[in-house]
């Protein structure tokens, strides 16, 4: 069968012809092929896959952890809910520990969930998933050339077909023509390099990771007799989270795998940590001994299966979707940072956007402006992730700032990014336009809050502390989750949701601002008490700029933000009268 009926199933020169040729059969390519066949069952699809099957069940690949967008994509869009529950571990959200030198691990402030929320996310074994997707795609009618290597992609001009040349598993050179070609070949970024589309992200961020046999469980870092600590998360379920061990300029991940093994990773800012010191397994263990010593004794009980280090892992592109009928997905498109487990989120957005364009092409032809709209959306998601996460590394070791930063980012995700997938907003022009109109100033507000955190890190007194924050119990976060992670909404319902979300985001931004002022310059709080409602787009920690920036001239209706402020301050101990660290001089206003 062929989706584009005007095309012949075989070209005049005898070269096989397909609606779509997918170059790469890893996670991005395999999910794309399954998604395409579910959405367009008449599409003829060839996947040129460098892997041979079965791949090792516990393949050494990054991308084991999913969050809400990807969880919905796997379960609902790809129709894999029963399969994911059977073959992969449920994920208990994101979890953060802020250890302190010389103190027991149980004293580390912790952010995480105590129980599973309503929507499923997963810790996936990449090898298991890719083996199973291979079998599923074969049964769905996808033609797969396993063990093959793409040699070239000759892009056709105008309406001419593309020509893909590859060497199959027996060493024979073959060709295929297609209307659409997809680059899913990972960091090789074949099409981007061929077309000169690569674009660097700012800063240098590096990672080293390895797998160990068996269950390396953060619960074992704390003696069993410390019942209060263990009872905060009943059933010894912390290990089902993506565990982050946080410090200045770095984080360490602990991720359980369905195979029974555990993934351990070190991710750092190159400005604060030298990748050369952890580019080998002995170096990585020595680095852990210095920065996260609780991990090292646990490693002694496990065999290390493999090790890999990657320098400067973050990058993007000027284009990932083209009106010339090609697209890039997964790491062939862009990669921001693993911190919030966004890799499969980006695959979900990229696959969905590209498949929508293929469908539009078949129905009525492509509109270049529509392609560019989806291209901007996909790259915008990646660019925001890169900026937001990378600019946070410098305060990863500040528990108070990081706690509020995580809460803010989670609220932003659950109210804006996640509904895009649950209701296909970015794929529907009417929905997208209506939501944009309902969220004026959203991006500039998010930037202003980020500027606030960057100013705060330079003047923090660390006057508030906390032991454990279950972020799903924060009223405005729980309400955001329950309201926005719901599919099947009408345009009117989505508009109502997003207008409500803007009011909540504005109130939470002001509450965070007050807490920052109380931490850095409590003597100025009285100045703010004279103004019951403030301009959230003008918050900052240089009081000399408050009036000039319009902090006391709000542009939205006056209302109380006491609920947001009370919800946040209830998470922390009362600020101490004298902090252990005096603030530095007020910084020059930051321009980020």
SS (H, E, C) 547-564: HHHCCCCCCCCCCCCHHH
CA-based nearest residue to 66, from 247, 240, 295, 246 = 240
Residue 64 confidence (pLDDT):
76
CB 26 within 8 A of CB 184: yes
Span 409-417, average pLDDT: 98
Place of tokens 């060709």: 175
Q: Report pLDDT digits (tens) over 96-148.
A: 999 987 899 999 999 999 999 999 999 998 889 999 999 999 999 999 999 99
Q: Is the pLDDT of residue 476 over 60?
A: yes
Residue 258 confidence (pLDDT):
84
CB 344 within 8 A of CB 66: yes
Instruction: Give the span between the Cα atoms of 471 and 111, in whole angstroms.
Output: 7
Instruction: Give the span between the Cα atoms of 350 and 375, in whole angstroms.
Output: 9
Confidence grade of residue 579 (pLDDT, cut at 50, 70, 90): very low
CB 539 within 8 A of CB 551: yes
The set of residues, in sequence order, having a beta carbon less than 8 Å from that of 191 and lying 6+ positions away, is 153, 183, 197, 326, 328, 332
Instruction: Give the span between the Cα atoms of 58 and 23, in whole angstroms.
Output: 23
Q: Is 474 helix (H, G, I), strand (E, B) or coil?
A: coil
Give the percent of the chain with pLDDT over 90.
88
Q: Residue 304: which H helix or E strand, with range?
A: strand 304-310
Q: Report pLDDT digits (tens) over 38-49.
A: 999 999 999 999
Confidence grade of residue 460 (pLDDT, cut at 50, 70, 90): confident
Pairing outcome for strands 143-146 and 45-49: parallel
Q: Does domain 89-122+204-310 have CATH number 3.30.9.100?
A: yes
Place of tokens 């890999």: 308
Establish whether domains 17-62+125-197+320-390 and 89-122+204-310 are of one fold.
Answer: no
Residue 463 confidence (pLDDT):
80
Reported in sequence order, the residue ranges of 412-543 that DSSP labels E, i.e. its strands, are 468-470
Pairing outcome for strands 326-328 and 173-183: parallel
Instruction: Give the span between the Cα atoms of 174 and 156, in whole angstroms.
Output: 18
Residue 91 confidence (pLDDT):
97
Residue 259 confidence (pLDDT):
83
Instruction: Give the span between the Cα atoms of 247 and 109, in whole angstroms.
Output: 12
Span 216-237, average pLDDT: 97
Q: Report pLDDT digits (tens) over 58-90.
A: 555 666 799 999 999 999 999 999 999 999 999
Q: Is 585 exposed, middle or buried (0-12, 13-18, 19+ CB in 10 A)?
A: exposed
CA-based nearest residue to 58, from 266, 277, 300, 303 = 303
DSSP state of 431: H
Instruction: Give the span between the Cα atoms of 288 and 292, in whole angstroms.
Output: 5
The set of residues, in sequence order, having a beta carbon less than 8 Å from that of 259 and lying 6+ positions away, is 57, 58, 125, 127, 128
Instruction: Give the span between the Cα atoms of 491 and 126, in whole angstroms.
Output: 36
Lowest mean pLDDT among 52-56, 103-107, 268-272: 52-56
Would you state the structure tokens that stand for residue 264, as one six-digit string? 């351990």
Task: For 566, list phi and psi in degrees, rounded to 5.
Answer: -65, -40
Which string of DSSP letters, residue by residue, matches 406-470? HHHHHHHIIIIIHHHHHTTGGG-HHHHHHHHHH-TTHHHHHHHHHHHHHHHHTT-------SEEE
- Average pLDDT over all residues of the chain: 93
CATH class (in words) of the domain with range 17-62+125-197+320-390: alpha beta
Confidence grade of residue 578 (pLDDT, cut at 50, 70, 90): low
Residue 577 confidence (pLDDT):
61
Instruction: Give the span between the Cα atoms of 30 and 133, in whole angstroms.
Output: 6
Q: Report pLDDT digits (tens) over 512-546.
A: 999 999 999 999 999 899 999 999 999 999 999 99
Residue 7 confidence (pLDDT):
59
Measured over all CA atoms, what is the biggest interatomic distance in the chain, rounded to whole angstroms?
A: 83
The set of residues, in sequence order, having a beta carbon less than 8 Å from that of 340 and lying 6+ positions away, is 67, 94, 385, 389, 409, 413
CA-based nearest residue to 278, from 315, 310, 243 = 310
The residues spanned by each domain of the chain are 17-62+125-197+320-390, 89-122+204-310, 398-569
CB 88 within 8 A of CB 123: yes
Confidence grade of residue 1 (pLDDT, cut at 50, 70, 90): low
Instruction: Give the span between the Cα atoms of 378 and 426, in whole angstroms.
Output: 9
Instruction: Give the span between the Cα atoms of 505 and 503, in whole angstroms.
Output: 6
Residues shown for the chain = 592
CA-based nearest residue to 472, from 113, 121, 231 = 113
Q: Is the pLDDT of residue 11 over 60?
A: no
DSSP state of 570: T
CB 280 within 8 A of CB 288: no
Lowest mean pLDDT among 179-193, 266-280, 350-364, 565-579: 565-579
Residue 24 confidence (pLDDT):
98
Would you state the structure tokens that stand for residue 148, as one six-digit string? 């093959």
Distances (CA, A) of 160 to 2, 155, 180, 364, 437: 17, 8, 10, 17, 39
Instruction: Give the span between the Cα atoms of 146 and 134, in whole angstroms.
Output: 10
Span 320-335, average pLDDT: 97
Residue 587 confidence (pLDDT):
30
Q: Is the pLDDT of residue 253 over 80?
A: yes
Answer positive or negative: Cα dihedral of 206, 209, 215, 216. negative
Residue 57 confidence (pLDDT):
65
Residue 269 confidence (pLDDT):
98
CA-based nearest residue to 232, from 48, 411, 109, 99 = 109
Q: Is the pLDDT of residue 208 over 80?
A: yes
Instruction: Give the span between the Cα atoms of 333 and 199, in whole angstroms.
Output: 11
Angle between helices 475-484 and 491-520 in degrees, nearest 10: 160
Residue 13 confidence (pLDDT):
78
Instruction: Give the span between the Cα atoms of 150 and 364, in whole angstroms.
Output: 31
Instruction: Give the span between the Cα atoms of 23 and 153, in whole angstroms.
Output: 9
CA-based nearest residue to 208, from 260, 258, 282 = 282
pTM of the full structure: 0.95
């Amino acid at each position: 069968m062929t989706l584009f009926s005007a095309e012949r199933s075989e070209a005049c020169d005898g070269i096989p012809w397909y609606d779509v040729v997918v170059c790469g059969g890893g996670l991005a390519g395999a999910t794309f092929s399954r998604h395409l066949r579910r959405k367009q069952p008449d599409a003829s699809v060839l996947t040129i896959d460098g892997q041979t099957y079965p791949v090792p069940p516990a393949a050494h690949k990054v991308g084991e952890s999913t969050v809400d967008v990807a969880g919905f994509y796997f379960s609902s869009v790809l129709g894999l809910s029963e399969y994911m529950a059977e073959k992969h571990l449920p994920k208990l959200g994101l979890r953060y520990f802020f250890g302190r030198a010389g103190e027991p691990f149980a004293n580390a402030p912790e952010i995480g969930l105590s129980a599973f929320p309503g929507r499923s996310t997963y810790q996936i074994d990449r090898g298991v998933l890719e083996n199973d997707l291979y079998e599923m795609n074969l049964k769905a009618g996808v033609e797969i050339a396993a063990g093959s290597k793409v040699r070239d992609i000759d892009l056709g001009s105008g309406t001419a077909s593309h020509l893909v040349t590859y060497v199959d598993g027996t060493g024979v050179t073959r060709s295929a023509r297609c209307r659409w070609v997809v680059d899913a070949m990972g960091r090789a970024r074949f099409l981007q390099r061929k077309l000169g589309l690569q674009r660097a992200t700012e800063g240098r961020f590096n990672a080293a990771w390895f797998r160990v046999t068996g269950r390396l469980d953060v619960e074992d870092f704390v003696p069993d007799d410390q019942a209060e600590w263990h009872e905060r998360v009943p059933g010894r379920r912390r290990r089902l989270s993506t565990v982050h061990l946080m410090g200045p300029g770095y984080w360490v991940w602990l991720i359980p795998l369905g195979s029974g093994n555990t993934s351990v990773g070190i991710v750092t800012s190159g400005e604060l940590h030298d990748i050369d010191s952890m580019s080998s397994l002995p170096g990585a263990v020595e680095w852990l001994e210095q920065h996260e010593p609780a991990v090292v004794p646990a490693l002694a009980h496990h065999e290390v299966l493999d090790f890999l280090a990657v320098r400067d892992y973050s990058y993007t592109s000027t284009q990932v979707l083209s009106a010339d009928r090609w697209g890039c997905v997964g790491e062939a498109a862009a990669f921001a940072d693993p911190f919030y487990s966004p890799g499969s989120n980006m695959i979900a957005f990229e696959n969905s956007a590209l498949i929508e364009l293929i469908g539009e092409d078949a129905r009525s032809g492509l509109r270049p402006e529509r392609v560019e709209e989806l291209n901007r959306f996909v790259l915008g998601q990646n660019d925001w992730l890169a900026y937001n996460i990378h600019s946070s590394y410098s305060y990863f070791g500040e528990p108070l700032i990081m706690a509020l930063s995580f809460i803010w980012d989670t609220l932003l995700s659950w109210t804006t990014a996640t509904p895009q997938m649950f209701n296909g907003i970015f794929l529907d022009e009417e929905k997208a336009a209506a939501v944009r109109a309902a969220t004026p100033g959203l991006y500039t507000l998010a930037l202003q809050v980020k500027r606030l955190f960057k100013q705060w890190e330079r003047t923090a007194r660390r006057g508030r502390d906390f032991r454990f924050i279950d972020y799903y119990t924060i009223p405005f976060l729980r309400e955001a989750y329950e309201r926005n992670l719901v599919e099947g909404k009408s345009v009117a319902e989505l508009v109502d949701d997003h207008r409500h979300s803007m009011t909540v985001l504005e109130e939470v931004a002001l509450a965070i601002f007050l807490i920052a002022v109380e931490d850095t310059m409590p003597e100025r709080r009285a100045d703010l008490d004279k103004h019951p409602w403030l301009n959230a787009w003008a918050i900052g920690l240089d009081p000399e700029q408050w009036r000039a920036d319009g902090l006391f001239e709000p542009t939205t209706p006056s209302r109380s933000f006491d609920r947001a402020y009370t919800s946040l301050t209830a998470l922390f101990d009362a600020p101490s009268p004298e902090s252990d660290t005096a603030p530095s001089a007020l910084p020059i206003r930051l321009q980020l």
